[in-house]
Chains A and B, each alone.
Chain A
Amino acid sequence: MSAAHTEAHDHHDHRPSGIMRWLTTTNHKDIGTMYLIFSLTMFFVGGIMALAIRAELFQPGLQVVNPELFNSLTTLHALIMIFGAIMPGFVGFANWLIPMMIGAPDMALPRMNNWSFWILPFAFALLLGSLFTVGGGPASGWTLYAPLSVQGGAGVDMTILSIHMMGISSVLGAINIIVTIMNMRAPGMNLMKMPLFVWTWLITAFLLIAAMPVLAGAVTMLLTDRHFGTAFFDPAGGGDPVLFQHIFWFFGHPEVYILILPAFGIISQIVPTFSRKPLFGYDSMVFATAGIAFLSFIVWAHHMFTVGMPLAGELFFMYATMLIAVPTGVKVFNWVATMWRGSITLETPMLFALAVVFLFTIGGLSGLMLAIVPADFQYHDTYFVVAHFHYVLFSGSIMAMMGATYYWLPKWTGRMYSEGLGKTHFWLTTIFFNVTFFPQHFLGLAGMPRRIPDYSVQFTEFNIISSIGAFGLGLAQLLFVYIIIQAVRGKNEKATAQVWEGADGLEWTVDSPPPYHTFETPPTVK
């Protein structure tokens, strides 16, 4: 073992200062920090786009943006939030926490770790740059459905290239995480002792490796259809536009779980800590996660019930999709059972975790409704769907990351955040989130299609409420940044190594903040 460590020392110890430190770093904590800052930045970029969209939809008529830009904004908002905010955010947490949770000194492939991060800023510069090309940014929705996406200008090609780069980045990240978890666990840390966050990330990484290359294939076909005379999706050449949707969603549905499984892991860390009880049903949590991951590969066509599938296909995808409710239900029941007869305190991380369980379940239940094919014919491509996936992705993934930030920030910075401000941020976020997205259920049921820049007057009232909520939600996030900066600047109360009374796990055995290199000598797990 010792050779490996001296080698590691050689790599890490004489670190350059200033910008070069960040450009060349191979330290998992530095890289984790960069990922998290990047994610937060993209969260604001995507958020500003969302606010432009909501400003346009504040009332009927065209006021703020023209229809082409509106379509680019919805497309880029989705791509940025999914590939720029949520995925790098979770990779950031993985970088910081997985080595510390399994008792490893660093990630298994530190240099690759550095590359996989530094691809991202270039990928997103390219993506945002597409807005300034002659034809404008990509305007076909993030799903890039052919043949609409074949119509766009150079902006679409830049988007395709940037998706390739993001794909390479996340595949490299996923390989690194799997190799780390499979090889670097401290003695005694067998698989079924790993914290659930590590487990969910292990499964997510396998999903990434299986799904991202398929997306790369789909957009490559799109690119060759656009410029090199192939006809994968062009009916004129014997292709089929629906084929694109099949390939895209073969990636797209696992992607949905890539975006939510690490959040499940985070909730499974936070809830036991503040209930002062071990997680209920650890084994079934692991199996439920694996079950969800498996099912995610056989339900893709539920995104496209209206394209006209044979009856047998629609029935199969309906039943398989409904089945996902079982393992997901098990998770929710386990979290509730973890709280049951615990000794609960409601600090900010716990508040966020509770909100995630509560609000994600709303999104889960509306997902069950969407699985029912006949009903989906009414919901499909309406604001009901928009409400559904924001309940899953905002109040699922993003709020889980906010909770995680409050939970581990004292560990990372060595300082407590301001509990009062944290709680204020929580309540503002939760209330404005619901003001924004709950009325969208009603809009969808009443018949408002998604991705429209203007709407008929009957939808006005709920859109006004939704837009007001969106601006509140956006402003509340400035408070989040303030709270983080306050903690990082180190003016607050010092945090102990344990931080939280009920916290359990290796990361709480090292100092707050942890030394630059942790677990140089592996700890022993009993």
Chain B
Amino acid sequence: MTSSQAMKRSKTRWIVILSGTVVLMFGFGYALVPLYDLFCEITGVGGKPTVAVLQLDSDENPIDYSKEVTVEFTATGNNNIPWTIKPLVKKTKVHLGEVHMMNYLVTNTSSQQMVGQAIPSISPMQGARHMVKLECFCFNAQTLEPGEAREMPVRFYVNKDLPDEINTLTLSYSFFPMNESVSTSDNQSEEQQSSS
């Protein structure tokens, strides 16, 4: 009798432990999202650049004239937003620690007011966290009137601890329509289906 009760208790215990694990692992799937971001930030995977909030004093940030790196600028569009993005400088040589500024010319070629935002990516990814941006138009909603062209500035420096094997960094922007389109995307796909 007692052994059967003991078995019942043991079964219940196992069910609780295992169900708990299932819930935990489901949560772990979601936890991978911030963990991955953290991992990316530390290692620079995905090439998300560091955005410095504080402007560093020039004394604290002496320029290393012994090494120069080439920084290239490029941009990629997107089907869903008829904007053009063009770096006004294609490539430049910078000393480590030297603060540089350059502009992208962004034009809304559509006949509507549109909101877009730029996502930056840096290659090689090992260099991403060494490229520090003091000012960047990325991740901010940018509203452009029909036909409006705007110069958007990027101010950055390349960290002194850039690994020696990197001598070219590429900064690439991709423009995406702002997320209000997510709610409309469903309507659009319905429209697409009904129109077909």
Q: A residues within 8 Å of B by Cβ?
A: 1-4, 108-109, 134-135, 153, 171, 174-175, 178-179, 182-184, 209-218, 221, 227, 229, 231-232, 235-238, 240, 242-243, 246-247, 250-251, 308-313
Contact = CB atoms under 8 A, between A and B. Distances in A.
A214 B21 CA distance: 11
B179 A237 contact: yes
B33 A182 contact: no
A210 B117 CA distance: 38
Contact of B45 (A108, A135, A213, A309): A309
A108 B12 CA distance: 10
A313 B43 contact: yes
Secondary structure class of chain B's binding surface, majority of residues: helix
Interface string B1-26: 10110011011001100110111111
A211 B32 CA distance: 13
B46 A240 contact: yes
A209 B22 contact: yes
Interface residues of B, number: 45
A3 B1 contact: yes
A244 to B, nearest CB: 10
B87 interface: no
A238 B18 contact: no
Contacts of B174: 235
B176 A236 contact: yes
A391 B32 CA distance: 32
Interface in B133-180: 139, 174, 176-179
8 contacts: A135-B193, A209-B25, A213-B26, A221-B33, A237-B182, A240-B36, A250-B32, A313-B45
Contacts of A178: 14, 18
Contacts of A211: 25
A236 B193 contact: no
Contact of B18 (A179, A217, A309): A179
A514 to B, nearest CB: 23
A108 B139 contact: no
B3 A238 contact: no
B26 A246 contact: no
Contacts of A175: 14-15, 18-19, 22
Given A175-B18, A214-B32, 5 more contacts: A153-B189, A209-B25, A217-B28, A235-B119, A240-B40
B3 A1 contact: yes
B158 to A, nearest CB: 18
Contacts of A310: 43-45, 125-126
Secondary structure class of chain A's binding surface, majority of residues: helix
B29 A4 contact: no
B186 A213 contact: no
Contacts of B19: 175
Contacts of B8: 4
B82 to A, nearest CB: 15
Q: For A108, A153, A251, which residue has the most chain B Cβ atoms within 10 angstroms?
A: A108
A486 B193 CA distance: 51
A209 B3 contact: no
A107 B113 CA distance: 65
Given A178-B14, A182-B10, A308 B179 contact: no
B66 interface: no
B18 A209 contact: yes
B4 A3 contact: yes
A210 B4 contact: no
Contacts of B32: 214, 217, 243, 246-247, 250
Q: For A4, A182, A217, A308, which residue has the most chain B Cβ atoms within 10 angstroms?
A: A217
Contacts of B177: 236
Nearest to B119: A235
A216 B26 CA distance: 7
Nearest to A312: B43
B193 A134 contact: yes
B29 A216 contact: yes
